[in-house]
Amino acid sequence: GLLLAALLVSHMLLTKEGVTSMPICPNGSVNCQLSLEELFDRAVKLSHYIHFLSSEMFNEFDERYAQGRGFIAKAVNSCHTASLTTPEDKEQAQQIHHEDLLNLILGVLRSWNDPLIHLASEVQRIKEAPETILWKAAEIEEQNKRLLEGMEKIVGRVHSGEVENEIYTPWDGLPSLQLADEDSRLFAFYNLLHCLRRDSHKIDNYLKVLKCRLIHDNNC
Amino acid sequence: DRLQWPQISKCRSPEMETFSCFWTAGNFYNLTVPRILQLLYKKSNEEDWKECPDYITSGQNSCYFNASYTSVWTPYCVQLASKNEVYDKKCFSVDEIVLPDPPVHLNWTLLNTSQTGIHGDIQVRWDPPPTADVRKGWITLEYELQYKEVNETKWKELKPRLSTMVPLYSLKTARDYEIRIRSRQRTSEKFGEFSEILYVSFSQIVIGCDHCTEEVEFPWFLVVVFGVCGLAVTMISIMLSKQPRLKMLLFPPVPVPKIKGIDPDLLKKGKLDEVNSILACHDNYKTQLYSDDLWVEFIELDIEDPDEKNRASDTDRLLSEDHLKSHSSLGVKDDDSGRASCCEPDIPETDFSASDTCDATSDSDPFKKATEKEEDLLCLDRQDNDESLPSLANTDLQRQHRNTQSENSHLWAPFGDSSESPRPSVHTQISNQNSLASTDFYAQVSDITPAGRVVLSPGQKSKLGRAQREACTEQNFTMDNTYFCEADVKKCIAVTSQEENEPHGQEQGYNEDGYFTTESLTTTVANLGASTAAPPSSEMPVADYTSIHIVQSPQGLVLNATALPVPDKEFNVSCGYVSTDQLNKIMP
């Protein structure tokens, strides 16, 4: 019985496209230092996982709370990270220097640190929030931290010059998540989740572009 | 016909670099002046609506936004309007509307065929859609392949995957297949359009066997049915068979609840005294085991007990006094219980009712003093109360009368015999009078009152003494052990005191509780007045614990004389019964 349960759980986890555990040191490396390729591989896996979770969480939230409230029409909103000028199309992504792009990625990740913490805690106060949403919020928050660490490692490797000023935008949306009016509060969540999905997609894309550019020489 | 408004049917981006919107005109055209529909768009940070830059490239009723007009993560709104009216509006961002083009250049190669040539494996390859820039990593695609036999209607699907090749196993060489593939952006849900269909035919490559076009399908149904029947027949025959071993193997019995150290046969036979003695040594069983309800059950068990003595004593107790209830019901008859808890039972019978026990004190006032001690559950906390002793002796005598006389005489006699043989070794066990905790002794719980007090029984000493009288003199107490066989001691020491007490009835030294502290032993011996009492020799260092010589669970242990290193004090010395766990701690 116990074995069967263990097998089921492991199967579920593996098919979830989650982040599986990877060996810390690939065989043969003396200093136990990961190659840049390995670092990028892990970063891309993490960013993909985060975007996948954000997508699902948004869809679930949309299904459960946003139907019939007309949120979609209002969703032409601006996210708190809009002030960071990030590449908006392929041309811009091709032209930007990889160090700048890395710094931008770091900036977006840092800017999401705070909102994710509050999202994970405030989402629990939503009336009858499904367990899946709660779990995903917590998971995204944790994985974002890990991705941030990984990116800082990559930046440390790749960066040639001095570290620039930290790019970061503060988030002031906490009061809107705590509004008394349920409709307004849910709308605030909807916007936040929408922004999260978008930004996680950005990060995922930028990392893939960088990986193909730096590691595979534009030949993925 | 219903009036249909012009609507925006969909907006789509095939590669996340451009996008197009499509609409339907509705049936306005027929009814009114042909209206000119416009598609207006606006980026989120703009204020003015702009008109579509390209109505042509994507076909009729479409608007195409090329790369310069496309910003991927920027929210857009488009609206379908004519001069005055807005018919439809949609808001989106480009990353949400990605639907890739279908893959191209599908082809297949044969991997291998089965020996009979009926089945074959193929590998299907394709290229990603040319519009999607996969090489620079701008978009990541995953593909879903579907295939079916030519004359089937339902497509079989494979799981979406990232690679651009996939093997297909076990295709029938005699049949032709169709394959189609579609792609989607990796984190999206919606797939793009299907590719063109790829036809797979083995006839040119493999020479199929003509006569094997109709292959025999494996008769799964028959196999399952017969298998189940056979299994059922086998199981039934095993269950009905008389082969116990086979039965045990296939149908192992469900384990019944079991308590360590207790033989279930004891419970069956109603030998509750031993069971209780063992249980009493486990802390958790001390008070819970006894209640009025249990008493009722025990009474019944006693009735069924073929052993007359048990019954008699119980009955006597029941009939004579109220508080006697407490004794008998609990079934903690001492008898050999002391022996059971400690040593190998030399006396096989356990039928002797506990004539004298601590419970005797419960019946009388003096017992109230003893009740304090009783709280220790094993009368361990016996203070050297001279006053209580006489009273105990009194009650003890009373109880003796209540019990079978012959039994008592037996009990008493041996004590007297051995009284003459002093056991100087006993003195080595002298310890502080007041601190029983430092003394090593144990006693047999003969009964437990409903109140939860434990009464110790001295019974075994008499019995033991009786049976072991001969062996008593030969016993060599190695007093460097603090533990020694209760039986041995009792039979030799208690007998001594017992005899004395009987005539006097007031023997102080007599420990009626069926156990004796060192001081009581000493006093007992001393009070005998015989020359038996030898001055206590210099105290010999004694070990706190001794190793087990023989374990006869659940009846007791015989301890070795060898001294062992003193373990922690957690050892429940008072019990006299060393659990295997505790022993394991001290045994090297």
Which of A24-38, A110-124, B556-570 comes out lowest in average pLDDT? B556-570
The predicted-structure confidence for B284-327, as pLDDT tens digits, reads as follows 555 555 545 545 445 444 444 455 555 455 555 555 554 444 44
> B70 is in which domain, residue-wise?
7-97
Both tokens assigned to A130: 């499904």
Q: Do B72 and A88 touch (CB under 8 A)?
A: yes
Tell me what the pLDDT averaged over chain A comes to: 85
Question: What is the separation of C-alpha B78 from the centre of its chain, rounded to a whole number of angstroms?
Answer: 63
Tell me which of B38 and B559 has the higher pLDDT.
B38
Q: List, as one string, the DSSP characters of B319-363.
A: HH-STHHHHHHHT---TTHHHHHHS--SS--------S-HHHHHH
> According to the model, what pLDDT value does residue B14 have?
93
Inside any domain, residue B260: no
To 10 degrees, what angle do helices B459-474 and B405-419 make? Answer: 40
Mean pLDDT of B160-171: 92
Tell me which of B156 and B586 has the higher pLDDT.
B156
CB atoms within 10 A of CB B122: 21
Closest Cα partner for B330 from B364, B353, B361, B307?
A: B353
| Residues B526/B426, Cβ–Cβ less than 8 Å | no
| B85 and B109 co-located in one domain | no
User: What is the C-alpha to C-alpha distance for residues B359 and B520, in angstroms, rounded to an integer?
Assistant: 18
Tell me which of A70 and A96 has the higher pLDDT.
A96
How many domains are contained in chain A? 1
| B116 and B65 co-located in one domain | no
Mean pLDDT of B478-502: 46
| B93 and B161 co-located in one domain | no
Tell me which of B81 and B383 has the higher pLDDT.
B81
User: What is the C-alpha to C-alpha distance for residues B252 and B585, in angstroms, rounded to an integer?
Assistant: 34
- Of A34-48, A67-81, B487-501, B537-551, the range with the highest mean pLDDT is A34-48
At A170, which helix (H) or strand (E)?
none
Inside any domain, residue B46: yes
Question: What is the three-class DSSP state of B563?
Answer: strand
Confidence of residue B470 (pLDDT cuts 50, 70, 90): very low
Confidence of residue B25 (pLDDT cuts 50, 70, 90): confident
What's the gap in Å between the CA of A156 and the closest CA on chain B?
Answer: 23
**Model pTM score:** 0.53
Inside any domain, residue B524: no
Inside any domain, residue A129: yes
Handedness of CA B257, B258, B263, B269 (dihedral sign): negative
Residue of A76, A85, A196 for testing the chain B interface, max B β-carbons within 10 Å: A76
> A133 is in which domain, residue-wise?
35-216
Inside any domain, residue B495: no
The predicted-structure confidence for A79-99, as pLDDT tens digits, reads as follows 888 888 899 999 999 999 988
Residue of B8, B43, B138 for testing the chain A interface, max A β-carbons within 10 Å: B138
What are residue A73's phi and psi, to 5 degrees?
-65, -30
| B128 and B195 co-located in one domain | yes
| B14 and B92 co-located in one domain | yes
Q: Which residues contact B118 (CB under 8 A, 6 or more apart)?
A: B172, B173, B174, B208, B209, B212, B215
User: What is the C-alpha to C-alpha distance for residues B384 and B434, in angstroms, rounded to an integer?
Assistant: 7
Inside any domain, residue A25: no
Inside any domain, residue B41: yes
| B116 and B187 co-located in one domain | yes
Residue B121 has pLDDT above 70, yes or no: yes
> According to the model, what pLDDT value does residue B19 have?
94
DSSP letter for B543, please.
Answer: B
Tell me which of B551 and B5 has the higher pLDDT.
B5
Q: Which CATH number do you get for residue B190?
A: 2.60.40.10
User: What is the C-alpha to C-alpha distance for residues B587 and B579, in angstroms, rounded to an integer?
Assistant: 12
Question: What is the three-class DSSP state of B564?
Answer: coil
Confidence of residue B219 (pLDDT cuts 50, 70, 90): confident
> According to the model, what pLDDT value does residue B112 have?
86
> For residue B146, which amino acid is it?
Q
Inside any domain, residue B264: no
Which of A11-20, A37-46, B184-193, B377-386 comes out lowest in average pLDDT? B377-386
What's the gap in Å between the CA of A111 and the closest CA on chain B?
Answer: 17
Q: Which residues contact B101 (CB under 8 A, 6 or more apart)?
A: B14, B15, B129, B130, B131, B132, B183, B192, B193
Contacts A77 to B, Cβ<8 Å: 44, 75
Closest Cα partner for B524 from B437, B441, B454, B422?
A: B422
Q: Do B135 and A220 touch (CB under 8 A)?
A: yes
> According to the model, what pLDDT value does residue B381 have?
40
The predicted-structure confidence for B230-277, as pLDDT tens digits, reads as follows 999 998 888 887 777 777 777 788 888 777 776 667 667 766 677 677
User: What is the C-alpha to C-alpha distance for residues B262 and B282, in angstroms, rounded to an integer?
Assistant: 12
| B191 and B149 co-located in one domain | yes
Residue B190 has pLDDT above 60, yes or no: yes
Tell me what the pLDDT averaged over chain B comes to: 65
Mean pLDDT of B484-490: 47
The predicted-structure confidence for B425-459, as pLDDT tens digits, reads as follows 444 444 444 444 444 567 777 777 777 776 776 64
Which of A159-173, A175-189, B93-107, B469-483 comes out lowest in average pLDDT? B469-483
Inside any domain, residue A20: no
Boundary residue ending a domain (B201, B231, B251): B201
What's the gap in Å between the CA of A34 and the closest CA on chain B?
Answer: 22
Residue pairs spanning A and B at CB distance below 8 A: 67
| B67 and B52 co-located in one domain | yes
Mean pLDDT of A15-30: 55
Boundary residue ending a domain (B170, B201, B232): B201
Name the percent of chain B lying above pLDDT 90.
Answer: 22
What are residue B224's phi and psi, to 5 degrees?
-65, -45
Contacts B142 to A, Cβ<8 Å: none
Inside any domain, residue A127: yes
User: What is the C-alpha to C-alpha distance for residues B523 and B384, in angstroms, rounded to an integer?
Assistant: 10
Which of A86-90, A196-200, B219-223, B387-391 comes out lowest in average pLDDT? B387-391
Q: Which residues contact B433 (CB under 8 A, 6 or more apart)?
A: B383, B384, B519
Q: Do B95 and A52 touch (CB under 8 A)?
A: no
> According to the model, what pLDDT value does residue B532 have?
41
> According to the model, what pLDDT value does residue B526 have?
44
Q: Do B135 and A213 touch (CB under 8 A)?
A: no
Confidence of residue A107 (pLDDT cuts 50, 70, 90): very high
> Which residue from B17, B95, B134 is facing A201, i.e. has the nearest CB?
B95
> According to the model, what pLDDT value does residue A74 have?
58
Provide the pairing of β-strand B444-448 with B454-457: antiparallel
Note the helical H segments in A67-168. 71-74, 90-95, 98-122, 131-158
> According to the model, what pLDDT value does residue A10 have?
73
User: What is the C-alpha to C-alpha distance for residues B571 and B390, in angstroms, rounded to an integer?
Assistant: 32
In chain A, whose CA is at the least distance from the CA of B68? A89
Residue A50 has pLDDT above 90, yes or no: yes
The predicted-structure confidence for A52-61, as pLDDT tens digits, reads as follows 999 999 999 9
Both tokens assigned to A215: 């590691």
According to DSSP, the residues that pair with B11 across neighbouring strands are B21
Residue B177 has pLDDT above 90, yes or no: yes
Residue corresponding to tokens 């199981």: B235
The predicted-structure confidence for B557-573, as pLDDT tens digits, reads as follows 555 655 444 444 444 44
User: What is the C-alpha to C-alpha distance for residues B456 and B273, in angstroms, rounded to an integer?
Assistant: 12
> According to the model, what pLDDT value does residue B275 have?
66
Residue A149 has pLDDT above 50, yes or no: yes
| B144 and B174 co-located in one domain | yes
Both tokens assigned to B320: 């004579």
> According to the model, what pLDDT value does residue A176 have?
86
> For residue B550, which amino acid is it?
I
* CA angle in degrees (0–180, nearest 5) for B269-B274-B278: 130
Mean pLDDT of A153-158: 86
User: What is the C-alpha to C-alpha distance for residues B585 and B377, in angstroms, rounded to an integer?
Assistant: 24
| B127 and B195 co-located in one domain | yes
The predicted-structure confidence for A165-182, as pLDDT tens digits, reads as follows 678 888 888 888 888 888
Closest Cα partner for A208 from A32, A80, A47?
A: A47
To 10 degrees, what angle do helices A36-61 and A182-214 make? Answer: 160
User: What is the C-alpha to C-alpha distance for residues B285 and B482, in angstroms, rounded to an integer?
Assistant: 26
Tell me which of B507 and B450 has the higher pLDDT.
B450
User: What is the C-alpha to C-alpha distance for residues B424 and B540, in angstroms, rounded to an integer?
Assistant: 12
Which of A170-179, B113-122, B403-412, B449-458 comes out lowest in average pLDDT? B403-412
Name the percent of chain B lying above pLDDT 70.
Answer: 43
Residue B394 has pLDDT above 50, yes or no: no
| Residues B266/B435, Cβ–Cβ less than 8 Å | no
Q: Which CATH number do you get for residue A59?
A: 1.20.1250.10
Mean pLDDT of B135-143: 92
Residue B494 half-sphere exposure, CB side, CA atoms within 13 Å?
32
How many domains are contained in chain B? 2
Q: Do B44 and A209 touch (CB under 8 A)?
A: no
> According to the model, what pLDDT value does residue B142 have?
93
Inside any domain, residue B40: yes
Boundary residue ending a domain (B49, B75, B97): B97
